[in-house]
Structures are given as structure tokens and as C-alpha cells.
């Protein structure tokens, strides 16, 4: 895959914020509603000053594996490989990127709790 190819990124948190998109990708993203299954939503206190400044908050949502949880709603974006790497740079070490199934049947990258079991992105 070259950098012009698109990849899917699912966001349930700050990557949906216009100010975070502009700071991370240099543009606003167009996306559509989706949901991820097999995870539940929890919260994390962020200590990275740059991330807090960009997002406007030190409290960020976090996906934790839970096969009994209701689907977590969010937005799926088609981005470039370079933009995916920029998202990796934005996310703090408490998150890791994994490929997950969406309720649509597609697969998308998403950031989950780094302590969670599952494939590493």
C-alpha cells in the first residue's frame, strides 16, 4: 500500500474534534457514523501537555475489551497512511492502535487501552 491509499480510522473521542483534526492532520476530516463491538468505554486522565492543549481536556475516552458491552458509537474516517502515522504521534502511550471490526462489517484502525489484550497495530 502506498501513502495515497486510504485506510479507515474509527474515532470515539478527541480525533472527532475539529481543532484536533486541524492540529493533527492539517485538515477537517469527513466521516460517517459507525460503532465498534467487543469494547466498552472508560476514561483516562492525560498528562501530556501538548495533547491537553490540542484537545482542551485532560480527560479522554478509552476503549477497553469487553465482549458483553453494547457497541461504542463513533465516526469512521478514510485517511492516508501518513495521516494514520500522524494520529499515532498524537495519541499518548496509554493507547495503542489495533484493527477492529465495525458494525458495518468493515475493519478500521482504532486506539484502545495499551494494557488491553489483542493484536498490536
Identify the structural domains of the chain with CATH numbers, from first to last: 6-113 (3.10.490.10)
Cα separation, 6 vs 87, in Å, equals 14
In terms of average pLDDT, the best of 44-48, 64-68, 106-110, 113-117 is 106-110
pTM above 0.75?
yes
Mean pLDDT in the chain?
86
Higher pLDDT, 9 or 47: 9
Reported as a pLDDT band with limits 50, 70 and 90, residue 9 is: very high
The stretch 31-53 carries a mean pLDDT of 87
3-state secondary structure (DSSP) of residue 45: strand
pLDDT tens for residues 70-92? 999 999 999 999 999 999 998 87
Cα separation, 6 vs 4, in Å, equals 6
Amino acid at each position: 500500500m502506498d501513502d495515497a491509499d486510504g485506510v479507515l480510522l474509527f474515532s470515539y473521542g478527541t480525533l472527532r474534534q475539529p481543532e484536533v483534526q486541524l492540529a493533527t492532520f492539517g485538515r477537517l476530516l469527513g466521516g460517517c457514523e459507525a460503532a465498534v463491538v467487543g469494547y466498552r468505554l472508560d476514561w483516562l486522565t492525560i498528562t501530556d501537555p501538548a495533547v491537553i492543549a490540542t484537545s482542551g481536556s485532560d480527560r479522554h475516552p478509552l476503549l477497553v475489551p469487553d465482549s458483553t458491552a453494547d457497541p461504542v458509537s463513533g465516526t469512521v474516517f478514510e485517511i492516508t497512511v501518513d495521516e494514520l502515522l500522524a494520529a499515532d504521534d498524537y495519541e499518548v502511550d496509554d493507547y495503542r492502535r489495533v484493527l477492529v471490526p465495525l458494525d458495518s462489517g468493515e475493519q478500521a484502525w482504532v486506539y484502545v487501552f495499551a494494557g488491553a489484550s489483542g493484536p498490536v497495530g
